[in-house]
Structure 1
Amino acid sequence: MKEKLVKYLKDLVEIPSVIGNEKEIADYTQNFVERYYPSSNIVRYNNSLMVFDEIDQSKKTLALVGHLDTVPGENDFTGQIIDGRLYGLGASDMKGGLAVMMGLMDYFSDKEKRFNLIYVFYEKEEGPYVDNGLEPLLSEFDIIQKADLAIALEPTDNKVQVGCLGTLHASIIFKGKRAHSARPWQGENAIHKAADFLKRLADYGIHEYEFDGMKFLEVMNATMVEFSGGRNIIPDKFVINVNYRFAPGKTIEQAKEDVLKLVNGEAEVEFTDLCPSGNVCLYNPVLSELIEKYSLPVEAKQAWTDVARLSLYGIDAVNFGPGEAAQAHQKNENIPLENLYKNFEILSDFIKVEK
């Protein structure tokens, strides 16, 4: 199976699938899954796919979830194996996980499983929350909701990452009065009006938050600015994009209140791209068995993933994948092949019927 896993991953990284251009990789994936499942068990929605077993009520159900898209990037060694690492855009985030999903589908094509399996391959994960291709699969169909546990094979270095931070973006809009920079008293500098807020934001620091024994770090940062005018004009508008990463247990409304409190009425606030936090589901019996059986390290997810979206639909979900988190979105992205093999070995052993 190791050779097959490498082949699947090479095929995947050699298909460009930058967000918004997933048709070719979705077609490839559909051709692959049609070898193993009848059309009645395959759903294609735009450039996303769901593939599922006939549900046997005597078994628990496991969903394996992976996104097909990548961020834009460069890779000088696509498809090459160097020092035990396979290179290619998306190798770690998260085509390595997709290759494992394909390997499991192949492996169990003639073997008994103790779980019903649902495979989810979806588009547009790397972009705005509202465009994400997992959402229509959840809202238009009820297949994934049958899962007792969903595993997103995001890059986690083969650690189980539970929960995830919520995230929101807010435009903090300071308004002034335009004037010539030689006569600033005739105007009101919108940039200068932001000084007190920026000081409070810089001092916000790191807020540690513990949820179900997992430590999450809440942070709030300015990430972009825009202004009106030019270098010899007192600007009448200055907009700061603030990104707030907030812990599980906090609702989007509570997170919005945190931002409004920091702004203190000094500017207008427009909230954009609101993404909920993900549940910490360590109580889940399937997850507990997986962790205990293989002595897997467990940590909090200090970022956002679609575990949060799955949580909104009442689905217990975690991140557990072969990719290296540090390689995600890097130039010349790569994945250690040993990680790939280990992830497959753990999941295949967990899923198989013990004799």
Structure 2
Amino acid sequence: MTALDLTQDPVALTAALVDIPSPSHQERALADLVEQALADVPFVRVLRRGNTVAARTERGRRSRVILAGHLDTVPIADNVPHRLEDGVMYGCGTVDMKSGLAVYLHLFATLAADPDLAYDLTLIAYECEEVDSQYNGLGHLAVSDPEWLDGELALLGEPSGAIIEAGCQGTLRVRVTTRGQRAHSARGWLGDNAAHRLAPAIQKVAEWQGREVDIDGLVYREGLNVVKLESYVATNIIPDEAYALVNYRFAPDLTAEEAFGRVERHLAGFEVTLEDAVAGALPGLEKPAAAALIRTVGEVRAKYGWTDVARFAGLGIAAVNFGPGDPAFAHRKDEHVPVSQIRRVAAQLRDFLTTRPT
């Protein structure tokens, strides 16, 4: 397999990354090439943990910026290798998030020894972001080598349309269960239909009034929604159990515990079980490095959805999402990114990383 040239144009590097298949749990080939390429960057330390690769400069700068992005993609859907048409690159991972990772790898490699570099840099290319959190390489690195996640500001190359998306929402999932009595559907009056008992709970969820929370001038809009319904025994049996999975996307001013408490109170009287919950991340825009990035890019908005910025926020590190691509096209068969956005993010981020903080 051809070696990666991290110094080449970020658009060409994006194409090279896309053409190396790396669905979740299958990142080894790409991780090997990234590790080899980073080892050729002068005056940096390189770390390998599983299929997560990290590198850092030691230039003695006053502040450190972390550039992080995941190596994995969702399963390929007949969309590799890449295709370039009319200034748009198509292919698996072009949006989520090999274009962002290409920009970060390119800037790390070309600025590591540059005398104009204003911050020390840490680059983290990690495995298994697109699957269950137990496999997340960034999470594993935080446990095995926590010093590698230390910095003033962390940037995640998540697709954000070349606009800074600050913080992120928290998310939790609860199971609402109702119970009844089985009976033959021909004699339904002898039973108690659990699915019918679920209807008031669904209506209660529909009546939820989500908050719009302003944090540092960014508005996070909350939502409570049923995402799955199930109740079935057989086509001629009244079901004796039914459940709904309900997802709450909450503003980062709440802890996961506080968010669950709000859902419990709203669904009082129903059997509610917490299945999963992770807190969001506050914007952290008051940090000098974050403010400097905003001055360079010029546009910032709230992040709807959960990303790994929350891991950094949990460590007290300001973190934002900044990468090319429209997240609405992530995971789609026609996933694509305008090459102009790749170049825009690369240029703006280079300006930021070579401008001395005041």
Structure 2 length as normaliser, TM-score? 0.92
Q: Which residue does 2:3 correspond to in 1?
A: none
Secondary structure at the aligned position of 1:107 is classed as helix
Question: What is the CA–CA distance in structure 2 between the aligned matches of 1:75 and 1:349, rounded to whole Å?
Answer: 37
Amino acid aligned to 2:171: T
Q: Which residue does 1:71 correspond to in 2?
A: 74
Counterpart check, 1:99 vs 2:102:
yes
Question: What is the CA–CA distance in structure 2 between the aligned matches of 1:146 and 1:243, rounded to whole Å?
Answer: 32
Q: Please give the residue correspondences for 1:283-294 in structure 2 after superposition, counting only pairs within 5 Å.
A: 283-292=286-295, 294=296
Q: Which residue does 2:122 correspond to in 1?
A: 118
Q: Give, in angstroms, the shift of residue 273 of structure 1.
A: 2.7
Q: Which residue does 1:273 correspond to in 2?
A: 276
Counterpart check, 1:6 vs 2:15:
no
Q: Give, in angstroms, the shift of residue 134 of structure 1.
A: 1.2
Counterpart check, 1:154 vs 2:147:
no
Q: Which residue does 1:140 correspond to in 2?
A: 144
* Aligned positions, number: 350
Q: Which runs of 4+ in 1 moved over 3 A?
A: 75-78
Distance 1:150 1:290, change over 3 A: same
Q: Which residue does 2:347 correspond to in 1?
A: 345
CA contact (8 A) 1:159 1:320 kept: yes
Q: Which residue does 1:215 correspond to in 2?
A: 219
Question: What is the CA–CA distance in structure 1 between the aligned matches of 2:195 and 2:85, rounded to whole Å?
Answer: 50
Question: What is the CA–CA distance in structure 1 between the aligned matches of 2:177 and 2:58, rounded to whole Å?
Answer: 53
User: Please, which runs of 5 or more residues in structure 1 have no aligned partner?
Assistant: none
Amino acid aligned to 1:141: D
Secondary structure at the aligned position of 1:143 is classed as helix
Distance 1:180 1:140, change over 3 A: same
Q: Give, in angstroms, the shift of residue 197 of structure 1.
A: 0.7
Q: Please give the residue correspondences for 1:21-40 in structure 2 after superposition, counting only pairs within 5 Å.
A: 21-36=26-41
Q: Which residue does 1:298 correspond to in 2?
A: 300
Amino acid aligned to 1:137: L
Question: What is the CA–CA distance in structure 2 between the aligned matches of 1:311 and 1:4, rounded to whole Å?
Answer: 32
Q: Give, in angstroms, the shift of residue 3 of structure 1.
A: 5.4
Partner of residue 19 from structure 1, selected from 18, 24, 36 = 24
Q: Give, in angstroms, the shift of residue 76 of structure 1.
A: 4.2
Q: Please give the residue correspondences for 1:237-252 in structure 2 after superposition, counting only pairs within 5 Å.
A: 237-252=241-256
Amino acid aligned to 1:317: A
Question: What is the CA–CA distance in structure 2 between the aligned matches of 1:60 and 1:216, rounded to whole Å?
Answer: 29
Structure 1 length as normaliser, TM-score? 0.93
User: Please, which runs of 5 or more residues in structure 2 have no aligned partner?
Assistant: 1-5
Question: What is the CA–CA distance in structure 2 between the aligned matches of 1:48 and 1:151, rounded to whole Å?
Answer: 17
Partner of residue 62 from structure 2, selected from 59, 62, 75 = 59
Partner of residue 322 from structure 2, selected from 301, 320, 323 = 320
Secondary structure at the aligned position of 1:270 is classed as strand
Question: What is the CA–CA distance in structure 2 between the aligned matches of 1:24 and 1:223, rounded to whole Å?
Answer: 36
CA contact (8 A) 1:162 1:318 kept: yes
Q: Which residue does 2:175 correspond to in 1?
A: 171
Amino acid aligned to 1:99: A
Question: What is the CA–CA distance in structure 2 between the aligned matches of 1:2 and 1:119, rounded to whole Å?
Answer: 15
Secondary structure at the aligned position of 2:341 is classed as helix
Question: What is the CA–CA distance in structure 1 between the aligned matches of 2:50 and 2:104, rounded to whole Å?
Answer: 20
Distance 1:137 1:295, change over 3 A: closer
